[in-house]
Chains A and B, each alone.
Chain A
Amino acid sequence: GGYTQSPGGFGSPAGTQAEKKQRIRSQNIVPCTVSQLLAAEQVDETFRIRDVEISQVTVMGIIRHAEKAPTNILYKVDDMTAAPMDVRQWVDTDEAGSENVVVPPGTYVKVAGHLRSFQNKKSLVAFKIMPLENMNEFTTHILEIVNAHMILRKNLMSASRVPQSFSSAGISDMGGYGGGGSLPVNGLTAHQSQVLNLIKNCPVPEGMSLQELKHQLHNMSMATIKQAVEFLSSEGHIYSTVDDDHYKSTDAE
């Protein structure tokens, strides 16, 4: 369960064309500390943490404060690396019920959202806020932060100076997360990340077929690919188009 909200990550009505283009370049969700987000530099619509481009991020911390307004809930999330960060979650005013339940202060949560800056103040617009049920996830998260930022930086140093998106398979395959991809990185296993990236980069209108995925992913069995597709579809990352064999990314341009 969780507190999934519709605006935010996927085709948010607030997203301009420029923003969508920028999202294509930084299409990964990067685990970060609040201190890293506060230190991120902004150039036009782009944020960079030590030259690494970021947009969608995850943070984990404890809720210090929660304030409910008619259209949104404002949380202050504290991960000890800096002062608590403002996290805004838009409320679906059409739906009554569980979507509008406020997570109480003192709860450890995982937040997935977009970094924003307004009048020089950073905040997050969350598309997902989930209380942690297993605190070992917190330990994993802090390790993932170090791993992700280290690899992102390495990719940046070794690649050419032209800004480019890197596939999250880069994060998943290196640093001991490879093989069967059993340990999730950024919420997705290595297999899921690879499948998602291929689907995202497919320019064809009807999306990518399972056959084409199998053709490109030699190391994965059709069963594994189907499992990944099913997971990604249920999480809202992809959707089927002409039939159940063709998929497009919900985040594609």
Chain B
Amino acid sequence: MGDIHEVPRPRIATAHLAQHIGQPVCFVGRVEKIHPTGKLFVLSDGEGKHTTVELSEPLDEELSGVVEVVGKVTNQATIMCASYVQFREDKSPFDLELYNEALKIIHEFREYFPFG
């Protein structure tokens, strides 16, 4: 998976992409669509804003529901994916809007939730 998992990866929403160009981030969103090539997919965050995630290798599985992506923000404000994991929703649906609210809190109170 590489070095990106050894460094802090701030949790962000679509609105924060521009502030993290070139940096490792962690993005959680709901799968909206997958490109036919399987090399890119679109996620929506808790505010409904879309982010494009690119892969170096095409997807080898069905992707749906809520996905957490670790990757680097490109100059085009997309995310170059290093790894991803699907959140389990078999027992309860994931409240993405609440997660977005939590992001606001951890950004506002950075000193109590440090990245790095």
Which residues of A approach B to under 8 Å, CB–CB? 33, 35-36, 39, 62, 64, 78, 80-84, 106, 108, 132-136, 139, 142-143, 145-146, 149-150, 153
Contact = CB atoms under 8 A, between A and B. Distances in A.
A82 B114 CA distance: 9
Contacts of A36: 114
Nearest to A39: B114
B98, B106, B112, B116: residue with the most chain A Cβ atoms closer than 10 Å: B112
B20 interface: no
Interface residues of B, number: 30
B74 to A, nearest CB: 19
A136 B98 CA distance: 8
Contact of A35 (B87, B98, B116): B116
A135 B105 contact: no
A142 B89 contact: no
Interface string B55-83: 00000000000100010000000000000
Contacts of B70: 80
Contacts, number: 75
B18 interface: no
Interface in B4-27: 5-11, 26
Interface string B94-116: 11001100100110010011111
The list of the 7 closest CB pairs from A to B, nearest first, reads A149-B112, A83-B6, A134-B92, A135-B87, A80-B26, A146-B112, A80-B9
Contact of B8 (A82, A106, A150): A82
Contact of A133 (B91, B106, B113): B91
Contacts of A150: 109, 112
25 contacts: A35-B8, A35-B116, A36-B114, A62-B85, A64-B1, A80-B10, A80-B11, A81-B113, A81-B115, A82-B8, A84-B5, A84-B6, A108-B88, A133-B88, A133-B91, A133-B92, A134-B91, A135-B94, A136-B92, A136-B95, A143-B102, A146-B105, A146-B113, A149-B112, A150-B109
A135 B70 CA distance: 17
B113 A142 contact: yes
B106 A146 contact: yes
Given A35-B116, A36-B114, 17 more contacts: A35-B8, A62-B85, A64-B1, A80-B9, A82-B8, A83-B7, A84-B6, A135-B88, A136-B94, A139-B95, A139-B98, A139-B102, A143-B102, A146-B105, A146-B112, A146-B113, A149-B112
